[in-house]
Amino acid sequence: MRKTIKLFILGLFLGTGAGYAGSGDLVLNDLEYFEKRGVNLLVYNNLFTGGFNDEKNAGIEIIHHGVRTSQGGAVRLAATPEQWDLVPKITSRKVNKEDNTIETTLVYEDYDFESRIVVRSIGEVAEIAVYLDKPLPEALVGKAGFNLEFLPSQYWNKVYYVDDRVNRFPRYATGYTTTMPLSEKLKQFKGYNTSDDRGTGQFIVPLPLENGHSFLLAPDDPERMIRITSDDATISLYDGRSLAQNGWYVLRSLLPAGVTGKVVTWKVEVNSINNWIRKPNIGYSQVGYTTKRDKVSVIELDKNDVVLDKASIYKVETDGSHKEVYTGAVKSWGDYFKYHYAKFDFSPVKEPGVYYIKYGEHTTGNFIISDNVYDRITDATSDIWIPIHMNHMIVREAYRVWHGEPFKEGYRQAPPNTDHFDLHWQGPTTDTKYKPLELIPGLNVGGFFDAGDFDIETSSNVSVVQNLVSIWETFKPMRDQTYVNQQQRYVELHRPDGVPDILQYIEHGVLNLVAQAENIGHMSQALSNSVLYNYHHLGDAASLTDGLPYNPELGPYEVAPDGKSSGKADDLWAFTSRDPALDLNAASMFAAASRVLKGYNDDLAERALTQSKRLLKEATELMEKQAQSGNRRGGFGDIATYLELYVSTGDKQYRKTFEDRLWMMLDRNVSFGLLTALNAVPHMDASFKKKLRPYVEKYKDYILDLEKNNPYGVPIGLGNWAGGGMTVNFGTSICYAALYYPDIIDVSHAYKVSDFIFGNHPYHNYSLAAVVGAARPKEVFYGNNRADFSFIPGNMAPGVLFRRPDHFENYDDWPFLWGQNEGTIAGNTGFLTFGYALKNVAK
């Protein structure tokens, strides 16, 4: 029986009739990764970071028929590593094309432990070997092992074989677990408080689903089939989702104790379909197009594909029939990283209606041509996403309560020298009058959750108010679909209350930021969780803490007799190390907000203007001292502050300082500072607009260079966070430049930005924003409801994430990678600004 099953499995790999056969040997290419048709095997092209440690984007990675299905190949200290578990430092990476090898050295400095991983291609097989020059440290025996992680959404419900046994990957984590002392787990973290919340002193540990020497994954799916075998080590399969919803399936072999040399060897055979060609990604705007504008589809093609001569537009008639109404040439643009690109211009199609694109045998979803397609693109963001992220409020939508009132207990002073797990840092002093862990009064009001978590990132909240003020002063949107009651701390969606929503959102943001300035004395870095166990909380924000101030005189979970305090140390902390640059940004925001709030909330308007002037004075003095001591380089962070103060007060000295510094900034980098200059145009005279003109002409050159840089003609980020925010800011700059300088900047470039956001981009053609009007928006995002594999309407994702050296991706079946799927409060209000600007120029 055992022999029969092995022969059957081998037949699945080699049976050419089903298209399962390989497509040549793995070749070590000039980009320093192994490839064959349909398979890319990356070996530390992407490294673990020192920030969030395990971001599921590093190590040995497999891109399988166009999808990155496996990552994290490394020696790890846990079977199912979490985000903040220790990651190895990569001290060397050697590529040897003669030997077909890539060798990396991995170091855990905390344990003085070094290992080497050598990946070698042997025909169609990749051999992965772990070498030790010194025996495994005793502290890591039974803990250190070689791991390779597989994306659950690409494997759940598919079958797998382990030696002679067959099973199926579970859709939901249902495996066995055990526990271990929390003190043991803490050794794998960076010293964070990882309380288990209920004082059990235990930590969950997943147990293996299977153990064996040969694993065949997904023989029922040729695009995902992989065989991994080891003669010298047992391989175990774990489900990391038992410990954390963002966990992956993990194959793991423990490193043996007391030996050196080649200690673990795996052979990895990644199936490739004969003559596989990736399906064309036909880009188009899911929202649609206005009648007279240019309409261009960018078609992303496998380099083994052939560019077809023509594509067609079909119209969906009112009787349900489909009619070909236009056929045009498809023109090759060229290569951009991994793929080849072509363009299909169907601008002649102008008649309102419902259409789709047909390219060869492939068709897109439908889109609308109408002059009102952009009218509602901001509605979901302003009506739903933003109010749901209002902190310190109960938020209700029809029958659903999105969250109760969070953090009634307020915020405590973060202790000095605190290294926070979300990249915040409390310096050697508090920079305040408060003692460590003392309650800072008045901070539990207003403000917005940053993103997929529940903290208040001050710089983001400053940007939110600035964006909303810009929207209000430029476009005066009177939309009212949200009930906001600050006295009751209550918000209800889809319920008008007679006040424009944007005004209420500005007020809500300023309430928290003014409270920071008044009670702390300057702006905090963040108001955030003190306990890692709480930080990765998903669900109702109000249940993250108990809502009662911490009382150290009580037992760990004891509540005071009067019910007004508890012994649960779950209160959030204020990180208060002073940053004068942040204070300057806040001064700018306060000055702008004071204008808008005047006549609506006069007291708050006056308080905001008072704090603006004070922070400007104090921050400028601090920055001058830092510059004299050589601790800070010069910059232009205060330019917008002087503009806003000039507009708010009319003081010409503020205007003079603004202009003096603006021209210097534009001389250095016009693309960085142009939007600030354009925001000033309505408040300046004709001479200012004339002096700005040559800089706008220079910006046009930047736009034209983008046309040569990539087929989409927009800035595309190549960092560890996708570049959606940069793209949106580019679009907003174009809209304003086209408004004030229409003879220089053509509005068509703004449409390229909207098309990119709404589906004309690499990897897939889904809208990156879950907006009203999009035919197929992304369906999962990294929001605070990500464990439900859902999204909050109105969210905009960061976008297509670049993975070195040549791969773009945006998962729509796995929300847990924030760099491509997490909408932020600053980013989404930036999108809101662009949306209003686009609607304006479209008219």
- The enclosing domain of 286 has a CATH number of 2.60.40.10
Per-residue pLDDT tens over the stretch 342-391? 999 999 999 999 999 999 999 999 999 999 999 999 999 999 999 999 99
Average pLDDT over residues 208-217: 98
The more confidently predicted of residues 283 and 21 is: 283
Per-residue pLDDT tens over the stretch 643-662? 999 999 999 999 999 999 99
Q: What token pair was written down for 161?
A: 């074989």
Task: For 659-725, give the DSSP string.
Answer: HHHHHHHHHH-HHHHHHHHHHHGGGS-HHHHHHHHHHHHHHHHHHHHHHHHSTT-S----SSS-SHH
Average pLDDT over residues 714-718: 96
Domain match, 84 and 193 both: yes
Burial 665-680 (b: 16+ CB within 10 A, else e): bbeeebbebbbbbbbb
Q: How many residues does the chain have?
A: 843
What are the φ and ψ backbone dihedral angles of 167, each rounded to 5 degrees?
Answer: -155, -175
Q: Which helix (H) or strand (E) holds 819?
A: helix 818-821
pLDDT at position 322, please? Answer: 98
Residue 398 CA: distances (Å) to CA of 164, 634, 771, 785, 833: 53, 51, 20, 18, 27
Domain match, 434 and 449 both: yes
23 pLDDT higher than 70:
no
Q: State the catalytic residue, choosing from 82, 570, 755, 822.
A: 822
Residues 6+ apart with CB under 8 A from 753: 714, 727, 728, 730, 731, 734, 834, 838
Query: Considering only CA atoms, which of 595, 282, 264, 552 is closest in space to residue 435?
Result: 552
Residues 6+ apart with CB under 8 A from 653: none
Domain match, 612 and 538 both: no
Domain match, 364 and 436 both: no
Q: State the catalytic residue, choosing from 232, 324, 621, 813.
A: 813
| 807 within domain boundaries | no
d(CA 763, CA 68): 11
Average pLDDT over residues 575-587: 95
Domain match, 7 and 130 both: yes
pLDDT at position 636, please? Answer: 59
Q: What token pair was written down for 661?
A: 């510094």
d(CA 287, CA 758): 6
pLDDT at position 195, please? Answer: 64
CA geometry: angle 77, 82, 87, nearest 5 deg: 45
| 321 within domain boundaries | yes
d(CA 696, CA 791): 38
Query: Residue 503 sits in which domain range?
Result: 395-577
d(CA 691, CA 710): 31
Is residue 510 helix, strand or coil?
helix
CB-based contact 549:563 (threshold 8 Å): no
Give the pLDDT band (50/70/90) at residue 15.
Answer: very low
Query: Considering only CA atoms, which of 311, 323, 321, 317 is closest in space to residue 362?
Result: 311
512 pLDDT higher than 70:
yes
pLDDT at position 24, please? Answer: 87
Residue tagged 């793209």 (tokens): 727
Per-residue pLDDT tens over the stretch 446-486? 999 998 999 999 999 999 999 999 999 999 999 999 999 99
Average pLDDT over residues 772-792: 94
Q: Which helix (H) or strand (E) holds 3?
A: helix 2-14
Per-residue pLDDT tens over the stretch 382-434? 999 999 999 999 999 999 999 999 999 999 999 999 988 888 889 999 999 99
pLDDT at position 422, please? Answer: 86
Chain centroid to Cα 358, Å, comes to: 32
- Plot region of 609 (φ>0 → left; ψ -120 to 50 → alpha; else → beta): alpha
Q: What token pair was written down for 279?
A: 């399906």
d(CA 113, CA 698): 54
Domain match, 54 and 201 both: yes
Per-residue pLDDT tens over the stretch 62-80? 999 999 999 999 999 999 9
Q: Which helix (H) or strand (E) holds 593?
A: helix 580-597
CB-based contact 24:120 (threshold 8 Å): no
What are the φ and ψ backbone dihedral angles of 745, each rounded to 5 degrees?
Answer: -105, 125
| 22 within domain boundaries | yes
Domain match, 573 and 600 both: no
Residue ending a domain, choose from 597, 629, 652: 652
Strand stretches in 271-366, DSSP E = 281-282, 296-301, 310-316, 322-336, 339-345, 353-359, 362-363
- Plot region of 25 (φ>0 → left; ψ -120 to 50 → alpha; else → beta): beta
pLDDT at position 557, please? Answer: 87
Domain match, 265 and 205 both: yes
Residue 777 has what DSSP assignment?
A: B
Per-residue pLDDT tens over the stretch 328-341? 999 999 999 999 99
Average pLDDT over residues 520-544: 92
| 89 within domain boundaries | yes
The answer, yes or no, to whether the previous bond of 805 is cis (omega within 30 of 0) is yes
Whether 822 is a known active-site residue: answer yes
Domain match, 494 and 351 both: no
Per-residue pLDDT tens over the stretch 134-176? 999 999 999 999 999 999 999 999 999 999 899 999 999 998 9
26 pLDDT higher than 70:
yes
Mean pLDDT of the chain: 93
| 841 within domain boundaries | no
| 843 within domain boundaries | no
Chain centroid to Cα 824, Å, comes to: 8
Q: Are strands 482-485 and 27-28 parallel, antiparallel or unpaired?
A: unpaired
pLDDT at position 556, please? Answer: 86
Average pLDDT over residues 716-736: 95
Residues 6+ apart with CB under 8 A from 115: 75, 88, 105, 106, 130, 131, 132, 144, 255
Task: Please count the structural domains in the chain.
Answer: 4
Residue tagged 């008649």 (tokens): 351
> For the chain, what percent of residues have pLDDT higher than 90?
87
Domain match, 355 and 463 both: no
pLDDT at position 599, please? Answer: 97
Q: Has this prediction a pTM greater than 0.85?
A: yes
Give the pLDDT band (50/70/90) at residue 631.
Answer: low
pLDDT at position 745, please? Answer: 97
Domain match, 172 and 194 both: yes
Whether 127 is a known active-site residue: answer no
d(CA 623, CA 124): 60
Residue tagged 């009058």 (tokens): 433
| 52 within domain boundaries | yes
778 pLDDT higher than 90:
yes
Per-residue pLDDT tens over the stretch 606-617? 999 999 999 999
End-to-end CA distance of the chain: 73
85 pLDDT higher than 80:
yes
Per-residue pLDDT tens over the stretch 237-283? 999 999 999 999 999 999 999 999 999 999 999 999 999 999 999 99
Residue tagged 């909303």 (tokens): 468
Residue 452 has what DSSP assignment?
A: S
Residue ending a domain, choose from 633, 652, 671: 652
| 60 within domain boundaries | yes
H runs (alpha helix) in 391-500: 458-475
Give the pLDDT band (50/70/90) at residue 14.
Answer: very low
pLDDT at position 532, please? Answer: 84
Residue ending a domain, choose from 577, 593, 621: 577
pLDDT at position 53, please? Answer: 86
Is residue 382 helix, strand or coil?
helix
> For the chain, what percent of residues have pLDDT higher than 70?
95
Domain match, 583 and 573 both: no
